Amino acid sequence: MDGDSSTTDASQLGITGEYMASGHYVLQPQDDDGEENMNDHEDGGTKENYREQDIYLPIANVARIMKNAVPQTGKIAKDAKECVQECVSEFISFITSEASERCHQEKRKTINGEDILFAMSTLGFDMYVDPLKLYLQKFREAMKGEKGIAGVAVGESLGEDLTEDSFTNQLPTGIITDGQQQNVMVYTTSYQQFTTIPTVQQIQFS
């Protein structure tokens, strides 16, 4: 998985190892045309034509999630949004490869939920696992039950909740509510305030 669309290889850049000592460098054009990476490959069949890095999630969705994650008055640079867009594809591939490997080891062909959760845990994202399990529960209930099941309002998309609720000075939270708007489970993106998952409180963002 090498980003050879932006040259980081020292030999290609023709510069000495000393110059590169403090890290990788990539040339940045003076005028950054940011739209280059907005590929919109809708067909699923021809995976040979695209490297996995070329397929991204829509930047609008990614940008919205970022915007809701940082304090409301914060600004996000355009190149940061594009960058996260690429990181996301990398993340998905990262998790998928690990899950796929486990799948193969156990001689199965279909990647299931457990494979994904296990991959997260293995790769250092175990702080996601417990919230994800709760979301999965809600998802399964929504898929299994009939529409309008009593007591469970999966309701608005959480993306919309995060923008419309007034989290002016708070970090945005993901909330699963029942029909009476009582919080069933709350998590915050700071990962400092997991009310139901004590182990995660050790993780701090400074």
Could you tell me which of 41, 177, 193, 136 has the C-alpha nearest to residue 185? 177
Considering only residues 25 through 44, tell me which ones interact with another protein, judged by CB under 8 A. 25-30, 41, 44
* Binding flag, residue 104, another protein (CB under 8 A): yes
* Binding flag, residue 131, another protein (CB under 8 A): yes
Considering only residues 162 through 191, tell me which ones interact with another protein, judged by CB under 8 A. 171-172, 189-191
Binds another protein by CB under 8 A, chosen from 123, 177, 186, 193: 123
Is residue 76 within 8 A of residue 63, CB to CB? The reply is yes
Q: In the structure encoding, which two tokens stand for residue 160, read together?
A: 């919309």
# of chain residues touching another protein (CB under 8 A): 102
15 DSSP assignment: -
Binds another protein by CB under 8 A, chosen from 71, 179, 184, 201: 71
The residues near 86 (Cβ < 8 Å, ≥ 6 apart) are: 37, 53, 56
Give the separation between CA 159 and CA 171, rounded to whole angstroms.
14
Applying CB under 8 A, the span of 16-24, 178-186, 193-201 interacting with another protein comes to 16-24
User: Which of residues 110 and 182 has its CB atom nearest to another protein in the complex?
Assistant: 110
